[in-house]
C-alpha cells in the first residue's frame, strides 16, 4: 500500500503530523497511524490553554483495537481543539490530514520544527 504523505507537513517518529500556519501549528496523526489503529471510536483532546512541552503525552486516540497516546510534537499553548472529533472521531480515519486534525498550538520555540522529520524521512521510517 502506498502511504499518503503530504509534502507540505512535518512529521514525528511517533506518527504525528504538523502543519505550520504562521506562529500556529496544527497537529494530527498520520494516515499510516490511523491505518494501524483501525476504526477510531473516541478521541480525548488536550484542554484549551494547556501548555505542552515537546514529547509530552497530551491526547488519547481509542480505536476498536487499542488506545494510544498522542504526543506534542512541539512546545506551545493549546489555542484550538477540533470540536468535530467528539461527535465524529471517524474523521481521523476518513480525512486524517484535514478534517481529522486534533489541536492547534501557539508555538513557544519555533526552532523545534528543525527536529521534525521531512516527508521523505517519514516515508523512509514507515517503509
Domain CATH code at residue 17: 2.40.50.100
Segment 44-51 shows an average pLDDT of 98
What pLDDT score does 4 carry?
85
In a domain, 126, yes or no: no
pLDDT band at 2 (very low <50, low <70, confident <90, very high): low
For residue 47, give its domain range: 10-109
Neighbouring residues of 7: CB distance < 8 A, sequence distance ≥ 6: 119
pTM of the model: 0.95
Q: Are strands 10-11 and 76-81 parallel, antiparallel or unpaired?
A: unpaired
CA distance 4 to 75: 26
In a domain, 122, yes or no: no
Tens-place pLDDT, residues 80-126: 999 999 999 999 999 999 999 999 999 999 999 999 999 999 999 99
C-alpha grid cell, residue 22: 504562521
In percent, the amount of the chain with pLDDT more than 70 equals 98
CA distance 32 to 112: 23
In a domain, 45, yes or no: yes
In a domain, 25, yes or no: yes
Give the chain's mean pLDDT. 96
CA distance 47 to 34: 22
Number of domains in the chain: 1
Amino acid at each position: 500500500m502506498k502511504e499518503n504523505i503530504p509534502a507540505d507537513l512535518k512529521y514525528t517518529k511517533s506518527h504525528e503530523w504538523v502543519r505550520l500556519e504562521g506562529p500556529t501549528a496544527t497537529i494530527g496523526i498520520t494516515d499510516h497511524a490511523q491505518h494501524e489503529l483501525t476504526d477510531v471510536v473516541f478521541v480525548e483532546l488536550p484542554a484549551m490553554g494547556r501548555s505542552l512541552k515537546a514529547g509530552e503525552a497530551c491526547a488519547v486516540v481509542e480505536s476498536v483495537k487499542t488506545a494510544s497516546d498522542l504526543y506534542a510534537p512541539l512546545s506551545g499553548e493549546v489555542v484550538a481543539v477540533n470540536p468535530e472529533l467528539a461527535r465524529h472521531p471517524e474523521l481521523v480515519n476518513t480525512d486524517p490530514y484535514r478534517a481529522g486534525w486534533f489541536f492547534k498550538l501557539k508555538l513557544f520555540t519555533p526552532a523545534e520544527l528543525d527536529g521534525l522529520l521531512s516527508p521523505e524521512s517519514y516515508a523512509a521510517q514507515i517503509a
